[in-house]
Chain A
Amino acid sequence: MALLSFQNVSKTYNGVTKALQDVTFSIEEGEFVSIIGPSGAGKSTLLRCINRLVDASQGTIFFDGKNVTSSKKNELRDIRTKTAMIFQHYNLVDRLSVVENVLHGRLGQKSTLSGAAGHYTEAEKQEAFRIIQEMGLEEQAYKRCDELSGGQKQRVGIARAIMQHPKLILCDEPIASLDPKSSKVIMDHLKTINQTKNITCLVNLHQVDVAMKYSKRIIGVTAGKIVYDGPTDGLTKDKIHEIYQSSDHDLITDVEECV
């Protein structure tokens, strides 16, 4: 059984804007899938439907054998703890330390009070430090997050995601605000997590070259519809044109260089 499956999912904002239209696909455990498409195509909405930061208007989503769309409070909390998320703008609590932000990954599994008060077990803290070290941030562990660079902040974001022990990591444009060097570091980390910890990754990207380099399967989204879903090799120039609805030659040369 697939880890995640979308069945005819649609989303309309305010009853007018159609963000997703009749989306159907499924993802197996351990896959690393990139979703590409122009901005405003509905990539973000698609990702947020999975952990219900956005509620789908129609259709059903199954995750890990559970119906996400109909789940109630506690079930939803459970689903959210198993699906970590990484954001374009890192979404850290800037005034807290790196460790505290990483430990936020445990909040979904903790009691209300100890979570609110920031009381974590020694084992949890030890683990947080281990993950921080994996991300190469041990020297920054006690720094406040507003003192970090963009690349470092995103690594904190990844650490927070790993801290959740998720089955699936949703990455919403993880490198859109980063320079090329930091982007490579972040993508490499995601790939490593996917391979060594067997965590499924679903990554929104708008750089076609990066998507082709890191994933074996690509989903192309345009105007809320899936227009391509298949192996990276099958993504032809024409398909890319169709996804980006353009005949921009720069786009094509980029891809050719990379392939």
Chain B
Amino acid sequence: MNALLPEWLNPGPDEASFREMLAPDSRWTLELLAAQSRAITLRRFGRTMTLYAPLYLSNHCSSGCAYCGFASDRTTPRRRLEQEEIRKELAAMKRLGISDVLLLTGERTKAADFDYLRTSVATAAADMQRVTVEAFPMSVAEYRELAEAGCTGITIYQETYDRARYAELHRWGPKKDFLERLDTPSRALEGGIKTAGLGVLLGLADPQEDALMLYRHLRHLGKTYWRAGLSLSFPRIRPQTGSYQPPFTISDHLLARMIFAFRIALPDVELVLSTRESPAFRDGMAGLGITRMSIASRTTVGGYSDTESGDRGQFDIFDDRSAEAFCKALREKNIEPVFKNWEHAYNGPSSAEKS
């Protein structure tokens, strides 16, 4: 099966020390890694943390991912936000101080298709300083349209680079196509999206192997699309609707090791941690390697304006502190929370040389 993988996913000459840092029994103790990672983070990103929040536009989905609370065979009630509702959610988010929003949908469906997403991006870009998207894979032309509507970044997780495991977990729907998904960040950057965020869902497969593949993927994108901003997230499987039991347990120690190793190996890449993680882990990782965090998140559709809803979201949030409480914790650590770190003038597709 691996024979069909693109060449850039093969082991490269520059990954020996990264591989070594990932191994819990390496000469790199966790404490050594942490010190190095902290120094790099401080130098490169300073004492700041950029903040964003997710907005679930729709939980309609056409794929059957075994681990997901929104998979198409779940009994979860389905809905999508209409533009007026999106404006209402954005207004509620703005009251929390948020000006950097990540819009999410499931895999492509009739209810939440490309036109719906593009319209929603334009709606959000009118209100928010920065709009990024975590949705379904699109074509180069669609990504260009999305960039023109005001989307500056996309997040697309491969979930796992283990093809056999991938085939087993993605039971039906468009997400079943491993290679198509693997190629998605390239298409986005080709289409003029300015930043691409990668990640695997930690717990699905061997974490060290997946980390190596992520490293290769990021290096490949950086060399091929030299204007691209790159970011990397570290989602661990959380309890969710559907009660999937992951085959691998990712301890706090191993996750911390991965984050430090990536910071040292790729000093300039944005490393992201969401509210899936505990307050203690998030506060601890601030300043040690993570440079971007989500705050005050709701993972239900319509969760910001309807805070009373008993719906369960895509996954359960662990860090449920208010924006205010979270910022206070950051400030106590001598880190400045940064809500606005973008400007509308910088929206629009990134430009390749026009000949």
**A and B are interacting partners:** no
Q: Which residues of B pack against A, CB within 8 Å? A: none
